[in-house]
Structure 1
Amino acid sequence: MSTVMITLKSGVGADELENAKKEAINQGGEVVHESKLIKSITVKFPEDKVHTLSTNDKYSVEHDQEVKTQ
């Protein structure tokens, strides 16, 4: 599965997070985490699904990855 983090861009209302969740689910994704503090969701998509959330100008979409410190 591919995991992406979808964050609302600056100035976008918090209610838009619900729209992002619905859109992700409609495109075959599974919301695994939601943060109201930074207005974001983490979504798992099956490898064979292509999502179009990154084309929405209200969201910032990036692949979720592990961060390590030394």
Structure 2
Amino acid sequence: MPAVNSGASPEELDKAKQKVKDQGGKITNEFTLIKGFTAEFPEDKVGALETNEHLTVEADSEVKTQ
């Protein structure tokens, strides 16, 4: 799941989503309470996103509070 840095501008969020699409990914969910989105993305292209200072890239996983 790419997540966008909280200090990122709306333009940077749009650029991040466009980069996902340009690299063959598909935006699957967009969040409004936090700056972020989830995407299906080819594993061999993840490196292209990890170099963006405004993105945090994490693989899908189960999250628990306790």
Structures share a fold, TM > 0.5?
Answer: yes
Q: Unaligned 5+ residue runs, structure 2?
A: none
Greater helix proportion:
2
Q: Any runs of at least 4 consecutive aligned residues in structure 1 with deviations exceeding 6 A, and if so which?
A: none
- Give 1:21-60 correspondences, 5 Å limit: 21-47=17-43, 49-51=44-46, 52-60=48-56
Q: How many residues align?
A: 65
What TM-score results when the alignment is normalised by the length of structure 2?
A: 0.79
Percent identical residues: 45
What TM-score results when the alignment is normalised by the length of structure 1?
A: 0.75
Q: Using the alignment, how far apart are the partners of 2:55 and 2:32 within structure 1? A: 14
